[in-house]
């Protein structure tokens, strides 16, 4: 016996190739890919029956319950989210750990993230996870804030191998001034961190919310009206300008606005390291889904689909698909942020109680999606012709996230000898019926703790048949296999895509002191 597992008769699909072959797995790693591997050398054999085999998905934008609860009561624990992930073919999630602003000094950010790792260490995890830092506030004003952040990021990397952070240009309490964005970019450049930016002009949003409220326009639908595409376009353009000034690579998260895509495309053409992420909801849902379709008794139903940036007019979807195909978008993530609808509707986030009458301003932003991302992009992207190829599917869902966030080729690839045996065997693309093969998306299919999916009732032509993590089957034909859940924290390297060019020095962007 040489192998723990051999998968026969697969159609292997990576970011660069698609070809029939067998895969052998030993010690949790991809060990060998060849035309005909002897099944007698294996402890266990799976017949893929001609089904496509891809690397497991990497969902690089996932919110789960975290110690700081900066975004409120997210329904999924890391355990829930990793279970839901593998039920939809994702084998690595990168979630967020928020800065604890009560902590000060060089170790403050390291300790913030350390608390999250300690919390998740007590949970049963179905796949590996990594963490981005959410930066909520700089500790000091002026350049003193820059200098303390520099020390804090260095310590964070040394202690936990975190190599990315997210900053916000919107949300009361999180919105960062341009001055502090420069302070942050100075340090992410210096420390080789990937700088993730939530680009919406928070002041514009605030003014528009006030103006809509003044007119009594407060139903869920007006959440989108209060954050039009131009708000995202403006902030994206400003962030590119700041990044250009500091020669810092950046990544725009959850991009939905065609104006923003235009700005990003232009910056890329100018040779800047500007990357972008979009999400399935921005090509498959629209602003109409924040209305009360089919259920005029429930004026709140649109609250399920409230997220920021908001769902756009249907016409915008084409531009987002195009951006996935032409390389404007480097990755697709879910922005999984599950709030219970029962909470949005009647519970602690209740926008009806306390005289708030369903005002969109009080509805938490976000929707679940860690499980549906891969199958939706497979079907609505590849099978229906919106994505150019299966290779493109693997590139944006698996391989590029690994490169962008410093875990390639351990993750996001099927390189013998190098890659973890994290992979998905899809159902054969024929009409034959298999046990538990889903035909439509239902909430029960998704194995998360949330009480709805925005994709309920969506027809689905394929779904992961087996999800394998470190060579262990964690999901098989609709069943979660808890005994094989042995995921853990994933330390990362610095991004191979976010290296600064370092050839343009000015008086205000000096060579860093050693
Ligand atoms: O509406 C969203 N996207 N909620 C999650 C938080 C964020 O901004 O990513
Ligand atoms: Zn965001
Ligand atoms: Zn309606
Ligand atoms: Zn998010």
Pocket test for ligand 1, best of 60, 61, 62, 63 (most atoms within 8 A of CB): 63
The rounded distance, in Å, linking the Cα atoms of 256 and 278 is 7
Q: What is the pLDDT of residues 82-109, one digit of tens each?
A: 999 999 999 999 999 999 999 999 999 9
Rounded average pLDDT over 307-330: 98
Using one digit for the tens of pLDDT, what is the confidence trace for 108-138?
Answer: 999 999 999 999 999 999 999 999 999 999 9
Ligand closest to CA 70: 1
Task: Give pLDDT, residue 125.
Answer: 98
- Does residue 71's CB lie within 6 angstroms of at least one atom of ligand 1? yes
pLDDT at 118: 98
Distance from Cα 157 to the centre of ligand 3, integer Å: 49
Cα 243 to ligand 4 centroid, rounded to whole Å = 21
Q: What is the mean pLDDT of residues 439-450?
A: 96
Q: What is the pLDDT of residues 143-153, one digit of tens each?
A: 999 999 999 99
**Ligand 1 pocket, 484 CB below 6 A?**
no
Cis peptide before 409 (omega within 30 of 0): yes
Q: 403 near 496, Cβ under 8 Å?
A: yes
366 Cβ closer than 6 Å to some ligand 1 atom = yes
Q: How far apart are CA 202 and CA 210, in angstroms?
A: 12
**Banded model confidence at residue 8, pLDDT cuts 50, 70, 90:** very high
Q: What is the pLDDT of residue 296?
A: 53
Phi first, then psi: give them for residue 152, nearest 5 degrees.
-65, -40
Mutate to test the pocket of ligand 1, among 69, 226, 337 (most ligand atoms within 8 A of CB): 337
Residue 472 Cβ inside 6 Å of ligand 1? The answer reads no
* Ligand 1 and 365: CB distance under 6 A: yes
Distance, C-alpha 106 to centroid of its chain:
28
- Pairing verdict, β 472-476 and 479-480: antiparallel
CA-nearest residue, atom 8 of ligand 1: 308
Which atom in ligand 1 lies closest to the alpha carbon of residue 61?
9
Task: Give the separation between CA 83 and CA 474, rounded to whole angstroms.
Answer: 9
Q: Which two tokens stand for residue 383?
A: 């099978």
Instruction: Give me the mean pLDDT over the 190-208 stretch.
Output: 97
Q: With a threshold of 0.90, does the pTM exceed it?
A: yes
- Look up residue 444 and give its DSSP letter: G
Q: Identify the H or E element spanning 97.
A: strand 90-98
CB atoms near residue 266 (< 10 Å):
14
Ligand 1 nearest atom to the CA of residue 365, by list position: 1
**Lookup: tokens for 169:** 């240009």
Task: Give the chain's count of helices (H) and strands (E).
Answer: 14, 17
The predicted pLDDT at position 294 comes to 57
Give the atom of ligand 1 at the shortest distance from the alpha carbon of 168.
8
pLDDT in tens, 461-485: 999 999 999 999 999 999 999 999 9
Residues 6+ apart with CB under 8 A from 362: 349, 350, 351, 356
CB 265 within 8 A of CB 328: yes
Judge if the beta carbon of residue 198 lies within 6 A of ligand 1.
Answer: yes
Specify the residue with its C-alpha closest to ligand 1, atom 2.
Answer: 366
Which residues keep their CB under 5 angstroms from ion ligand 3?
291-293
Distance CA 410, CA 408 (A): 5
- From atom 5 of ligand 1, which residue's Cα is the shortest distance away? 366
Query: Kind of pairing, strands 250-252 and 464-469?
Result: unpaired
End-to-end CA separation in angstroms for the chain: 53
Model confidence at 9, in pLDDT bands (50, 70, 90)?
A: very high
Tell me how far the alpha carbon of residue 401 lies from the centroid of ligand 4, in angstroms.
15
Supply φ then ψ for residue 149, to 5 degrees.
-60, -40
Nearest CA, atom 9, ligand 1: 335
- Gyration radius of the chain's alpha carbons: 22
Is pLDDT at 439 greater than 70 in this prediction?
yes
**Position in ligand 1 atom list of the atom nearest CA 253:** 9
> Where does residue 118 rank: exposed (0-12), middle (13-18), buried (19+ CB within 10 A)?
exposed
Alpha-carbon gap, residue 402 to 412, rounded angstroms:
6
Q: How far apart are alpha carbons 328 and 375 in whole angstroms?
A: 22
> How large is the average pLDDT for residues 169-193?
96
Task: Answer yes or no: are the C-beta atoms of 140 and 180 closer than 8 Å.
Answer: no
Of 505 and 71, which is predicted with more confidence? 71
What's the CA-to-centroid distance between 21 and ligand 1, angstroms? 40
Dist. CA 95–CA 81, nearest whole Å = 10
Would the CB of 62 count as within 6 Å of ligand 1? no
Ligand 1 atom showing the smallest separation from residue 307 Cα: 1
The strand ranges marked E within 246-389 are 250-252, 274-278, 331-332
Residue 362 or residue 211, greater confidence: 211
How far, in Å, is the centroid of ligand 2 from the Cα of 439? Answer: 32
Do 8 and 47 touch, CB atoms closer than 8 A? yes
* Rounded Cα–Cα distance for residues 91 and 398 (Å): 9
CB of 335 within 6 A of ligand 1: the answer is yes
Task: For 19-37, write each residue's pLDDT tens digit.
Answer: 999 999 999 999 999 999 9
Burial of residue 486, with CB atoms counted within 10 A of its CB: 0-12 exposed, 13-18 middle, 19 or more buried: middle
| Average pLDDT over all residues of the chain | 95
pLDDT of residue 297: 57
Q: How confident is the model at residue 354 (pLDDT cuts 50, 70, 90)?
A: low
Distance in Å, CA 60 to ligand 2 centroid? 12
- Listed residue (456, 305, 286) closest to 371, CA to CA: 456
Question: What is the per-residue pLDDT across 21-77, written as a single tens digit (0 to 9) for each?
Answer: 999 999 999 999 999 999 999 999 999 999 999 999 999 999 999 999 999 899 999
The closest-lying atom of ligand 1 relative to the alpha carbon of residue 71 is: 6
* ipTM over 0.90 threshold: yes
Tell me which DSSP letter residue 396 carries: I
Q: What mean pLDDT is predicted for residues 206-226?
A: 95
| CB 10 less than 6 A from any atom of ligand 1 | no
- pLDDT confidence band for 282 (50 / 70 / 90): very high
Write down the pLDDT at residue 431: 66
- pLDDT > 90? residue 412: yes
Distance from the alpha carbon of residue 309 to the mean position of ligand 1, in angstroms: 8
Evaluate if residue 390 carries a pLDDT over 90. Answer: yes
- Asked if residue 295 has pLDDT above 80, the reply is no
Q: Coil, strand or helix: which one is 491?
A: coil
Task: Quote the pLDDT of residue 504.
Answer: 66
Using the predicted structure, report yes or no on whether residue 353 has a pLDDT greater than 80. no
Please work out whether the CB of residue 256 comes within 6 Å of at least one atom of ligand 1: no
Kindly indicate the confidence band of residue 233, based on its pLDDT and cuts at 50, 70 and 90: very high
Sequence-separated (6 or more) residues with CB below 8 Å from residue 508: none
Point out the ligand nearest to the CA of residue 289.
3
Give pLDDT, residue 293. 60
């Amino acid at each position: 016996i040489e192998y723990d597992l051999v998968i026969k008769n697969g159609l292997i699909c990576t970011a660069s190739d698609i070809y029939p072959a067998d895969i052998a797995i030993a010690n949790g790693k991809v060990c060998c890919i060849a035309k005909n591997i002897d099944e007698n050398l294996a402890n266990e054999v799976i017949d893929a029956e001609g089904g496509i085999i891809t690397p497991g998905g990497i969902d690089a934008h996932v919110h789960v319950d975290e110690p700081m609860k900066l975004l409120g009561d997210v329904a999924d624990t890391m355990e829930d989210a990793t279970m839901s992930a593998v039920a939809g073919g994702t084998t690595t999630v990168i979630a967020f750990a928020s800065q604890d602003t009560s902590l000060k000094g060089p170790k403050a950010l390291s300790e913030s993230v350390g608390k999250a790792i300690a919390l998740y260490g007590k949970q049963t995890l179905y796949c590996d996870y990594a963490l981005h830092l959410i930066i909520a506030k700089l500790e000091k004003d002026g350049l003193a804030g820059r200098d303390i952040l520099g020390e804090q990021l260095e310590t964070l990397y040394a202690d936990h191998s975190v190599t990315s952070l997210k900053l916000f240009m919107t949300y009361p309490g999180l919105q960062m001034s341009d001055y502090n964005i420069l302070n942050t970019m100075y340090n992410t450049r210096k420390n080789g961190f990937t700088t993730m930016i939530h680009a919406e002009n928070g002041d514009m949003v605030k003014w528009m919310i006030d103006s809509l409220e003044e007119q009594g326009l407060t139903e869920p639908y007006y959440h989108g009206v209060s954050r039009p595409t131009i708000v995202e376009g403006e902030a994206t353009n400003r962030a590119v300008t700041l990044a250009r000034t500091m020669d810092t690579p950046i990544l725009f998260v959850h991009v939905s606005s065609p104006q923003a895509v235009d700005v990003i495309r232009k910056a890329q053409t100018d040779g800047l390291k500007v990357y972008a992420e979009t999400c399935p909801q921005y090509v498959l849902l629209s602003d109409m889904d924040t209305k009360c379709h089919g259920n005029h008794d429930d004026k709140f139903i649109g609250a399920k689909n409230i997220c920021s940036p908001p769902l756009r007019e249907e016409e915008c979807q084409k531009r987002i698909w195009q951006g996935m195909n032409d390389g404007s978008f480097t990755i697709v993530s879910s922005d999984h942020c599950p709030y219970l609808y029962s909470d949005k509707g009647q519970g602690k986030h209740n926008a009806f109680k306390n005289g708030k009458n369903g005002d969109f301003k009080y509805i938490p932003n976000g929707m679940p999606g860690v499980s549906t991302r891969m199958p939706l992009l497979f079907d609505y992207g590849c099978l229906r012709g919106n994505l150019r190829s299966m290779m493109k599917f693997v590139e944006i869902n698996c391989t590029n996230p690994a490169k962008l966030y410093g875990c390639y080729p351990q993750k996001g690839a099927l390189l013998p000898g190098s890659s973890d045996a994290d992979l998905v065997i899809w159902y054969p693309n024929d009409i034959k019926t298999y046990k538990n093969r889903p035909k439509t998306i239902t909430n029960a299919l998704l194995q998360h703790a949330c009480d709805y999916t925005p994709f309920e009732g969506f027809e689905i032509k394929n779904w992961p048949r087996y999800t394998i993590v470190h060579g262990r089957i964690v999901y098989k034909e609709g069943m979660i296999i808890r005994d094989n859940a042995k995921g853990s924290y994933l330390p990362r390297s610095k991004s191979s895509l976010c290296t600064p060019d370092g050839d343009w020095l000015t008086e205000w962007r000096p060579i860093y002191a050693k």
